[in-house]
Amino acid sequence: MTMIRKKTIRKKTIRKFAMKVLNAAARHAAPGTRDWVNAMSREMDFIENDWAALWWALGSTRILFKRQYVPLADLSGIPRAAQCLTKTVRRRTISGLVITLTEAVFFGYFFFGVSTAMLRIGSALTVAAMLYMAYQLYARRAAQPPLDTASATFAYRVELERQREFHCGSWFWSRFIAFLPGPILFCVGAIIAQPESARAYATILAGFVVLSIWAVQLNLSQARKYQRRLDELEALQR
Amino acid sequence: MKLRKSPQTSIVLAEFLHGPHDWKYGYDISRNTGLKSGTLYPILMRLAERKLLATRWETPEAGKPPRHMYKLTADGVAYAREHAHSPVKHRLSRPAFSGVKHG
């Protein structure tokens, strides 16, 4: 009797956990994906085996990682889309600020520690570029969107435009141009100051150039992504 | 968005070709194809995005939650006829899950 009871309790726990997994997935799903996670959730009622139900539920979490964004079906999904965008931008702002300010401190330390003028200028320019990037990140931080559809739609559009501008146009290129000279001067200065380590610094410099090219690609592709969402929003409003 | 012509997509298309005018449930497709939910649903989502798959929520009966249903569109049927693999040849060795509750 006790064995049967224990088994029943275990089965209930597995099923409960599976449901919790699916509910969590639905909460964190992008607006367009939510309907699909709900669809998976409904199917779970027809899976008799509890372990199979758990595997089914775990599959739903895979969707969250596989599918970052699904186009909105109608305007009702906009308040949630706006909130998701705010969350994404906030994460970017926080991680960006941590990285830029850490680098500013790091190169600030070099400024006082290095011996040659070129290294010192390179450090100072990098610190200035990092502070400028931090300012841009702060200036383009996201505001909390309103909850009603009409206001959220307007706020969503404004935020998409702001973020698109952050990744292209004068915002991006000024940031990019400000960032380039400091590390280049620093590496060249290090090559001159320490010819025995020239190869290592040249490799760092080459890596920096490759990363810079990648950063351009990444930012422009982000700008295109925001533009696609703006187009999608416009199509929905028509 | 591009539709990846993966073997799994072909299997799903082949499954839909069994009764192309019938609405199908996600779990039934999963059982018949042997694809796990994490593989099946992204395929269904891509097909729906490309307007190859029609989706709708079943009209709820008393006490039963509605289920999401899928059917190929006319374009979807044409696409499936072109790209689907033979389900016998390509079906995975065993179903993903067992134990169905017939609702």
Question: Which string of DSSP letters, residue by residue, matches A138-175?
Answer: HHTPPPPPPSSHHHHHHHHHHHHHHHHHHHSHHHHHHH
pLDDT the model gives residue A65: 65
B39 at the A interface (CB within 8 A)?
A: yes
Calculate how close chain B gets to A66, using CA atoms only, in Å: 7
Q: How far is CA A21 from CA A15, A25, A30, A70, in A?
A: 10, 6, 16, 21
Q: Which helix (H) or strand (E) holds B71?
A: strand B68-72
Q: Which two structure tokens, joined as six digits, stand for B3?
A: 């539709």
Contact A36 B25 (CB under 8 A): no
Whole-number average pLDDT of chain B = 80
pTM for the predicted model, two decimal places: 0.56
Q: C-alpha angle with apex B94: B93 to B95, nearest 5 degrees?
A: 135
Mutate which: B27, B53, B61, vs A, most A CBs within 10 A: B27
Specify the 3-state DSSP secondary structure of A201: helix
pLDDT of A70 over the 80 cut: no
Specify the DSSP element, H or E, that contains B72.
Answer: strand B68-72
- ipTM greater than 0.85, yes or no? no
The per-residue pLDDT for B65 is: 79
What is the distance between the alpha carbons of residues B68 and B55, in angstroms, rounded to a whole number? 7
> What does residue B70 show for φ and ψ, rounded to 5 degrees?
-135, 145
Structure tokens at A64: 């969250």
- Token representation of residue B71: 């059917």
Bridge partners, A224 (sequence order): none
| pLDDT on residue B82 | 86
Alpha carbon of B30: minimum distance to chain A alpha carbons (Å): 10
Distance CA A71, CA A88 (A): 17
pLDDT in tens, B41-56: 989 988 988 889 999 9
**CA A180 – CA A48 distance, rounded (Å):** 60
- At residue A147 the predicted structure's pLDDT band, cuts being 50, 70 and 90, is confident
Return the higher-pLDDT residue of A176 and A23: A176
Give me the numbers of helices (H) and strands (E) for chain B, helices first please. Answer: 5, 3
Q: Residue A2: what pLDDT?
A: 62
From residue A5, give the alpha-carbon distance in Å to each of A15, A18, B36. Answer: 15, 20, 31
- Say yes or no for a CB contact (<8 Å) between A67 and B101: no
**Residue among A38, A56, A71 minimizing CB distance to B37:** A56
Summarised one tens digit per residue, pLDDT across range A74-125 is 777 788 888 888 888 999 999 999 999 999 999 999 888 888 899 999 999 9
pLDDT one-digit tens code per residue, A206-226: 999 999 999 999 999 999 989
Of chain B residues 54-83, which have a CB less than 8 A from chain A?
A: 65-68
Q: Which of A22, A37, A42 to mutate to test the interface with B (most CBs of B within 10 A)?
A: A42
Give the model confidence (pLDDT) of A154-208 as tens digits.
888 999 999 999 999 899 999 999 999 999 999 999 999 888 989 999 999 999 9
Which residues are B69's β-sheet partners?
B25, B56
Phi then psi dihedrals of residue B52, to 5 deg: -95, -15
Distance of alpha carbon A110 from alpha carbon A187, whole angstroms: 12
**Neighbouring-strand partners of residue B68:** B57
Distances (CA, A) of A146 to A50, A69, A83, A150, A234: 40, 21, 9, 9, 19
Q: Are B47 and B53 in contact (CB under 8 A)?
A: yes
pLDDT of residue B102: 45
Which of A45, A47, A63 is facing B38, going by the closest CB pair?
Answer: A63
- pLDDT level of residue B1 (50, 70, 90 thresholds): very low
**In this predicted model, which residue has the larger pLDDT, B98 or B70?**
B70
pLDDT of residue B89: 45
